[in-house]
Chains A and B, each alone.
Chain A
Amino acid sequence: MSPKTLYDKIWDAHVAHEAEDGTCLLYIDRHLVHEVTSPQAFEGLRMTGRKVRAPEKTIAVPDHNVPTTLDRANAATMTEDSRIQVEALDTNAKEFGLHYYPVTDVRQGVVHIVGPEQGWTLPGMTVVCGDSHTATHGAFGSLAHGIGTSEVEHVLATQTLIQQKSKNMKVEITGKLAPGVTAKDVTMAVIGLTGTAGGTGYVIEYCGQVIRDMSMEGRMTVCNMAIEGGARAGLIAPDETTYAYCKGRPHAPKGAEWEAALAYWKTLFTDEGAHFDKVLTIKGEDIAPLVTWGTSPEDVLPITGVVPDPASFKGGKVGAAQRSIEYMGLTAGQKLSDIEIDTVFIGSCTNGRIEDFRAAAEILKGKKIKEGMRAMVVPGSGLVRAQAEEEGIAQIFIDAGFEWRLAGCSMCLAMNPDQLQPGERCAATSNRNFEGRQGRGGRTHLMSPAMAAAAAITGKLTDVRDLM
Chain B
Amino acid sequence: MQKFTKLSGIAAPLDLVNIDTDMIIPKQFLKTIKRSGLGVNLFDEMRYYDDGKEIESFVLNQPAYRDAQILVAGDNFGCGSSREHAPWAIADFGITCIIAPSFADIFYNNSFKNGILPIALPQEQVDVLMKDAEKGANARIEVDLEEQTITSSDGEVFHFEVDAFKKHCLMNGLDDIGLTMEKAASIDAFEAAAASARPWV
A interface bracket (residues with beta carbon within 8 Å of B): 35 or more
Question: Chain B residues with Cβ under 8 A from A436's Cβ?
Answer: 22-23, 26, 45
Q: Are A319 and B15 in contact (CB under 8 A)?
A: yes
- Size of B's binding interface in residues, CB under 8 A: 57
Q: Are B201 and A29 in contact (CB under 8 A)?
A: yes
The reply on A306 being an interface residue by CB < 8 A is no
**10 shortest A-B CB distances, which residue pairs?**
A253-B200, A148-B110, A16-B190, A150-B113, A148-B84, A146-B82, A39-B33, A81-B31, A316-B17, A17-B186
The segment from A154-162, A173-181, A279-287, A369-377 that touches chain B is A154-162
- Give 1 or 0 for each of A62-85: 1 = CB within 8 Å of chain B CB: 001100000000000001011011
Q: Are A200 and B104 in contact (CB under 8 A)?
A: yes
The reply on B180 being an interface residue by CB < 8 A is yes
> Which one of A40, A64, A164, A413 contacts B35 once the chains associate, using CB atoms below 8 Å?
A40
The reply on A277 being an interface residue by CB < 8 A is no
Question: Chain B residues with Cβ under 8 A from A25's Cβ?
Answer: 180, 183, 186-187
Question: Chain B residues with Cβ under 8 A from A16's Cβ?
Answer: 183, 186-187, 189-191
Distance to closest chain B CB from A443 (angstroms): 14
- Chain A residues proximal to chain B, CB less than 8 Å: 16-17, 19, 21, 23, 25, 27, 29, 36-37, 39-40, 43, 48, 50, 53, 57, 64-65, 79, 81-82, 84-85, 88, 122, 124-125, 130-132, 134, 145-151, 153-154, 157-160, 162, 164, 196-197, 200-201, 227, 230-232, 252-253, 257-258, 260-261, 264, 296, 315-317, 319-320, 323, 413-415, 422, 432, 434-437, 440
The reply on B162 being an interface residue by CB < 8 A is no
Instruction: Give the docked Cα–Cα distance between A23 and B165 (Å).
Output: 8
Question: Chain B residues with Cβ under 8 A from A196's Cβ?
Answer: 18, 76, 79
The reply on B118 being an interface residue by CB < 8 A is no
Question: Chain B residues with Cβ under 8 A from A317's Cβ?
Answer: 17
Question: What are some 26 contacts across the A-B interface (CB < 8 A)?
Answer: A16-B183, A16-B191, A23-B163, A37-B82, A37-B83, A37-B84, A40-B33, A124-B198, A149-B84, A149-B110, A154-B177, A197-B75, A200-B105, A252-B200, A260-B200, A261-B198, A264-B198, A316-B16, A316-B75, A319-B15, A320-B17, A414-B27, A434-B22, A435-B22, A435-B45, A436-B26
Q: Are B45 and A150 in contact (CB under 8 A)?
A: no
Instruction: Give the docked Cα–Cα distance between A197 and B123 (Å).
Output: 14
Question: Chain A residues with Cβ under 8 A from B180's Cβ?
Answer: 25, 154, 157-158, 160, 162
Since A82-B31, A149-B35, A164-B163 are in contact, a sample of 12 more A-B pairs with Cβ atoms closer than 8 Å, ordered by chain A residue number, is: A17-B183, A53-B187, A122-B200, A131-B81, A134-B82, A150-B114, A200-B103, A230-B76, A260-B200, A319-B16, A434-B22, A440-B45
The reply on B157 being an interface residue by CB < 8 A is no
Q: Are B181 and A440 in contact (CB under 8 A)?
A: no
- Give 1 or 0 for each of B64-99: 1 = CB within 8 Å of chain A CB: 000000000011100111111001000000000000
Question: Chain B residues with Cβ under 8 A from A159's Cβ?
Answer: 187, 191
Q: Are A147 and B106 in contact (CB under 8 A)?
A: yes
The reply on B32 being an interface residue by CB < 8 A is yes
Instruction: Give the docked Cα–Cα distance between A273 and B104 (Å).
Output: 30
- Chain B residues proximal to chain A, CB less than 8 Å: 15-18, 20, 22-23, 26-28, 30-35, 45, 50, 74-76, 79-84, 87, 102-106, 109-110, 113-114, 123, 163-165, 176-177, 180-181, 183-184, 186-187, 189-191, 194, 198-201
> Which one of A48, A88, A125, A434 contacts B23 once the chains associate, using CB atoms below 8 Å?
A434
Instruction: Give the docked Cα–Cα distance between A157 and B176 (Å).
Output: 11
A200-B102, A200-B105, A434-B20 are known contacts. Are A19 and B187 too (CB-CB below 8 A)?
no
Instruction: Give the docked Cα–Cα distance between A320 and B27 (Å).
Output: 22
Instruction: Give the docked Cα–Cα distance between A133 and B190 (Å).
Output: 28
Distance to closest chain B CB from A95 (angstroms): 14
Question: Chain B residues with Cβ under 8 A from A323's Cβ?
Answer: 16
Instruction: Give the docked Cα–Cα distance between A232 and B106 (Å).
Output: 8
A16-B187, A158-B181 are known contacts. Are A150 and B20 too (CB-CB below 8 A)?
no
Distance to closest chain A CB from B61 (angstroms): 18
Question: Chain A residues with Cβ under 8 A from B17's Cβ?
Answer: 315-317, 319-320
A25-B180, A147-B82, A148-B109 are known contacts. Are A230 and B32 too (CB-CB below 8 A)?
no
Q: Are B199 and A257 in contact (CB under 8 A)?
A: yes
A200-B102, A316-B74, A319-B16 are known contacts. Are A81 and B81 too (CB-CB below 8 A)?
no
Instruction: Give the docked Cα–Cα distance between A148 and B165 (Å).
Output: 18
Instruction: Give the docked Cα–Cα distance between A408 and B84 (Å).
Output: 21
Instruction: Give the docked Cα–Cα distance between A257 and B197 (Å).
Output: 11
Closest to A85 in B: B31
A16-B186, A17-B187, A230-B104 are known contacts. Are A432 and B15 too (CB-CB below 8 A)?
no
Instruction: Give the docked Cα–Cα distance between A342 and B199 (Å).
Output: 51
Q: Are B177 and A201 in contact (CB under 8 A)?
A: no
Closest to B81 in A: A132
> Which one of B84, B106, B165 contacts A21 once the chains associate, using CB atoms below 8 Å?
B165
Instruction: Give the docked Cα–Cα distance between A153 and B186 (Å).
Output: 19
Question: Chain B residues with Cβ under 8 A from A50's Cβ?
Answer: 177
Question: Chain A residues with Cβ under 8 A from B74's Cβ?
Answer: 316, 320
Question: Chain B residues with Cβ under 8 A from A257's Cβ?
Answer: 199-200
Instruction: Give the docked Cα–Cα distance between A154 and B81 (Å).
Output: 19
Question: Chain A residues with Cβ under 8 A from B28's Cβ?
Answer: 415
